[in-house]
Structure 1
Amino acid sequence: MTLSLDEYATLARRELPEDVWDFIAGGAGRERTLAANEAAYDTVCLRPKALPGFTEPDTHVRVLGGRWAAPLGVAPVAYHELAHRDGESGTARAAGALGLPLVVSTFASQSLERVAREASAPLWLQMYCFRDEEVTRSLAGRAAAAGYEALVLTVDTPFMGRRLRDLRNGFQVPPHIVPANLVEGLAEGARADVAASPAAHSRTAFHPALDWSVVARLREWSGLPVLAKGVLSGDDARAALDAGVAGIIVSNHGGRQLDGAPATLEVLPEVVAAVAGRCPVLMDGGVRRGSDIVVALAFGATAVLVGRPVLHGLAVDGTAGAHAVLSLLMRELADTMALTGRATVDAVDVSVLAPRAMHLRHLELP
């Protein structure tokens, strides 16, 4: 019996080749930001509530007009087939069965159309923008045609960060796994370049000089709302709003871009204050327990996204494993809400947080 996300990670590591594990688990540089994302939650205490007066809390939440079963979704992560052959379609089935959204990566190992056929809950498409504008335009239009409800523009990745584990391993995506959304129309050699070395491909293919005007273009090409993912400051949040985004995702790319960037939980209040209720504020990074979701909500998040844990579940047991991971987080979320006396998601606010205990240096022990 697997009872925590940490246990799923341990089991997944046994299942995956070492270089694949490192590609999924690793971060940039010395991995300070990667570690900080999880550690931030350990600095926060929750305040229990005596006799709350209800049984099961209602975890439902509305985001951009969609109703989610919990303030929880699947973050965009590339190449789900690295973890299991079920891939993104399996993740979509798992999330959909629970009423949770999935953000599909540009670098998915299965096409966005194939994933849409398996989905029964909201789908968003994560967008990188390419030097070849037609590639970006095509992705945006395809997402709209396939029924996706929003685009998620990644704003922190003009190129992929320096990920030392991948460099040491000489990591390459196995030849049977391809970026399914990008290979159509590419010459055979270009296909190999895209698939084999994600970091090298990003240096040549990603648009290196984007500004916020891209938000309007994505909206024009797709007719869909656009969220900005990778915001870590109030200034960038205000710039995103001025550009017309429909939502903001506080993210440091799972610690995979700028090593030394702050943990997402640390900057969440600054971004929430800058947004001042004008759009939803989501966050990812370090969420490993249902209680972490409550902490994020207390700091002002509308919802959270999780990435690596879902791949851990896939690696352990395919679609069923991804479903189990998300179910576990939902159960822990409901339990934490009940124990803190919060009957609905809207009732979770800063008052759920407790000050950390001071050292009782003057206490005389018998």
Structure 2
Amino acid sequence: MAETLNDYESLAAAVLPAETYDFVAGGSGSETTLRRNRTALDAVTLAPRVLAGVAAADTGWRVPAGVVGGASMPVVVAPMAYQRLLHPEGELLLARAAAEAGVPYAISTLSSYPLEKIAGIGGQCWFQLYWLRDRGVVESLVGRAEEAGCSAIVVTVDVPVMGRRLRDVRNSFALPDDVVAANLVDPVTEAHVGVPGLSAVAAHTASAFEPAVSWQDLEWLRTRTGLPLILKGILDPRDATRAVQLGATGIVVSNHGGRQLDGAMSSVDALAGVVDAVDNDCLVLLDSGIRSGTDVLRALALGASAVLVGRPLLWALAVDACGEALELLRGELADAMMLAGCADLAAAGWLTTGRA
């Protein structure tokens, strides 16, 4: 049994093919931003409150506007592609664990099971949208998400092209035949054709994704769905302000886990500026680098409403321990809140923070 979320990585590495491990673990370029996410989070210090009279910590997350119908903690399972690479049940297993843990699960456009089957698990589901070259497919995906009962659309806005992920290039990484982009019209794609010195997944992204997506496209999407829109991949406060003007319900401050622009600032370093820019006009969530309950508390103290957790849950998926990992995270958060004198999440937002 793992003692921390980080333990799942070594457990997964022992059972996964090396190229699959690299696909999940790797970042873009020299992986500077990948490392920076952890360095920056570790530098955030908290001043605990004492004599607070707290007998128990309530980790429950209650959000208006229908995005979250109550969650056991301020955590969302991040949208992550091709989860059958890690386990034959892939998205179905992780979505089931999220439902049992009482947290939302974000379904990826590139999920390896159809979104309807994942949403049918029965928990709270969001649908993550990559903007495709075929706008008709975009509209169809959004309609399918609505019909399947998803409660929000998460538009990833930081992938005009895929970052150059050198581990995948060196491995000539390609998807195995039984792992497909199940939501797309032609699920067997360039992503399955290995070419020496190239990433087949990057080749598929280049052919399928629209690089010139703009704010006008988001305005068009706003007219096509009544679901809340959450924009994932914002670091600049000016973009956050524009998102609010567009009518976004939420913003995910994210550098895509260090997998897009290498040299981008850490997500946690960008958080305060975005929180100030939106001035409580929308939810702000933090993604990239979260590895513990203390990290969740750090994010809340800096003004985030919640966090997205990605890689640690993929590592747990590889060893059939998704539920265990989510319960471990909830326990860590409760412990951190007790030690900081926080009875509930609102109290966490009043903690004083510093930098080591």
Is the pair's TM-score, using the shorter chain for normalization, greater than 0.5? yes
Counterpart-to-counterpart distance in 2, 1:250 and 1:14: 32
Q: Cα 1:194–1:17, aligned 2, differ >3 Å: closer, same or farther?
A: closer
Deviation at 1:52, TM superposition (A): 2.6
Q: Return closer, same or farther for 1:354/1:115 CA change in 2, 3 Å cut-off.
A: same
Q: 2:195 aligned with 1:193, yes or no? A: no
Q: Is the 8 A contact 2:43 2:355 kept in 1?
A: no
Instruction: Map 1:278-357; keep pairs closer than 5 Å.
Output: 278-317=281-320, 321-353=321-353, 356=356
Q: Summarize deviations over 1:264-312 as a string: whole Å, max 9, x none.
A: 0001000000000000000111110100000000111000001101111
Aligned to 1:149, which of 148, 151, 155? 151
Partner residue, 1:128: 130
Which position in structure 1 is the counterpart of 2:165?
163
CA distance in 1, matches of 2:73, 2:329: 10
Query: Which deviations, in whole Å up to 9, do the C-alpha atoms of 1:102-124 show, x marking residues without a partner?
Result: 1111000001000011132x211
Paired with 1:76 and 1:352, the residues of 2 have a C-alpha distance of: 31
Aligned pairs for 1:54-133 (under 5 A) are: 54-63=54-63, 64-65=65-66, 66=68, 67-120=70-123, 122-133=124-135
Does structure 2 retain, via aligned residues, the 8 Å contact 1:126–1:151?
yes
Task: State the one-letter code of the partner of 1:130.
Answer: L
**Over alpha carbons, which structure has the higher Rg?**
1
CA distance in 2, matches of 1:239, 1:349: 25
Q: Name the amino acid aligned to 1:143.
A: A
Q: Which residue of structure 2 lines up, in the alignment, with residue 259 of structure 1?
A: 262
Tell me the equivalent position of 1:18. Answer: 18
> 1:267 and 1:192 mapped to 2: Cα distance?
36
Q: CA separation of 1:355/1:251 partners in 2, compared to 1, >3 Å: closer, same or farther?
A: closer
Q: Return the offset for 1:214.
A: 2.0
Name which of 196, 209, 214 aligns with 1:211: 214
Give 1:100's aligned amino acid: V
Deviation at 1:195, TM superposition (A): 4.5
Counterpart for residue 197 of structure 2? none
User: SS at 1:61's partner residue?
Assistant: coil
Kindly state the Cα deviation for residue 355 of structure 1 after the two structures are TM-superposed. 6.2
Q: How many residues are paired up?
A: 347
Deviations 1:109-144 (A, max 9, x none): 001000011132x21111011111111111000000
Q: Which amino acid aligns with 1:80?
A: Q
Other-structure match for 1:269: 272
2:212 and 2:2 map into 1 onto residues whose CA distance is 45
Instruction: Give structure 1 stretches of 5+ with no counterpart.
Output: 357-366
* 1:178 equivalent in alignment to 2:180: yes
Per the TM alignment, residue 263 of structure 1 is displaced from its structure 2 partner at its CA by 0.5
Percent of aligned positions that are identical? 46
AA matched with 1:169? N
Give the drift of 1:194: 4.6
Look up the equivalent residue of 1:296 and give its one-letter code: A
Provide the C-alpha distance between the structure 2 equivalents of 1:55 and 1:107, rounded to a whole number of angstroms: 44
Give runs of aligned pairs for residues 228-247 of structure 1, distance below 5 A.
228-247=231-250
Give the Cα–Cα distance (whole angstroms) in 1 for the partners of residues 315 and 202 of structure 2.
Answer: 22
Cα distance in 1, alignment partners of residues 51 and 272 from structure 2? 30
Contact 2:49 2:351 in 1 (8 A): no
Distance in structure 2 (CA, Å) of the matches to 1:215 and 1:181 = 21
Counterparts of 2:350 and 2:262, CA distance in 1: 29
Q: Which shifted more, 56-65 or 251-260?
A: 56-65
Contact 2:173 2:201 in 1 (8 A): no
CA distance in 1, matches of 2:237, 2:229: 18
Q: Residue 340 of structure 1 contacts residue 352 of structure 1 at CA under 8 Å; is this kept in 2?
A: no
Q: CA deviation at 1:348?
A: 1.0
Asked if the contact 1:69/1:98 (under 8 Å) is kept, the reply is yes
1:349 & 1:100 partners in 2: Cα distance?
20
Aligned equivalents of 2:239, 2:216: Cα separation in 1: 14
Which amino acid in 1 is paired with 2:60?
H
For residues 220-235 of structure 1, what are the structure 2 equivalents within 5 Å?
A: 220-235=223-238
2:6 partner SS: helix
